[in-house]
Structure 1
Amino acid sequence: MFVAHELGVPVEDLRRASRGVADICEARQAAMYLAHVVFGMSFTAVGREFGRDRSTVAHACEQVEWRREDVSFDALLTRLEWQLRAATQMTRTDAPRQEGNAHGG
């Protein structure tokens, strides 16, 4: 996962039930924010992926928005957004194309 790698935390820590230390909490919040913003997932869907409820995801997104006032954090998040969008586009364009139709034409 891009966020875990960029912020130097183990991927499995992002989904742990406990809150963890501040750096893990901040990485988890960033990952939840990016899942919501980049992939358009609902707070409920993001919460399900991270073992949290929708209100926790909403709070995480709010915290990340506040933290974006820090220029270096904003630059990091902008880079992660770009990387995730690029990876998503690559996946979509690398998918094999199906030629013809179901009737062999």
Structure 2
Amino acid sequence: MWGPSDPVVWQGERAGQTIGEPEREAARRVIEATVAAAFGLPLQELSAPTRRRANVAFARQVGMYVAHVALGLSLTETGQVFGRDRTTASHACRVVEDRRDDGDVDRMLDAIEAVVLAWKASLEGSRRTVEVHHPGRTS
């Protein structure tokens, strides 16, 4: 499902910091759990190999959008994280961006992004703590 195990590079403040396979898996799980809760869907619906109902497809598109926009993953990486290809991830981002004009959708996306960004910040904060307490040690 993941494709290549190349490290992902975070964008933004700590550009150039790479994350490995465990963090990629954790990112997918955090995004899927957050999106599933926001949409009131069973978690397994988001990782199903087929499109499913329209609300499930949109929820999956939201997950891809958040991975790309909030975490700064490339469209190729985003597709790999969700078991899809780059063009599917690109389409998902366009669909979600178009729906942001709806105030309810926009507020929901803001809340989902806030949860994912909080997770990312806590991950980065724990890395800094490990670096301070264990200089030279990689985790």
Distance 1:92 1:42 in 2: 19
Q: Deviations over 1:12-49 (max 9, x none)?
A: 22121110001100100000000001111111111112
TM-score with structure 2 setting the length: 0.67
Aligned to 1:58: 90
| Structure 1: runs of 5+ lacking an equivalent | none
| Percent identity of equivalent pairs | 36
Paired positions, count:
102
Instruction: Tell me which stretches of 4 or more aligned residues in structure 1 moved more than 2 Å.
Output: 94-102
**Rg larger for:** 1
Aligned to 2:130: 97
CA drift of 1:101 comes to: 4.4
CA drift of 1:100 comes to: 6.2
Distance 1:58 1:52 in 2: 10
TM-score with structure 1 setting the length: 0.87
Q: Secondary structure at the match of 2:125?
A: helix
CA drift of 1:90 comes to: 1.8
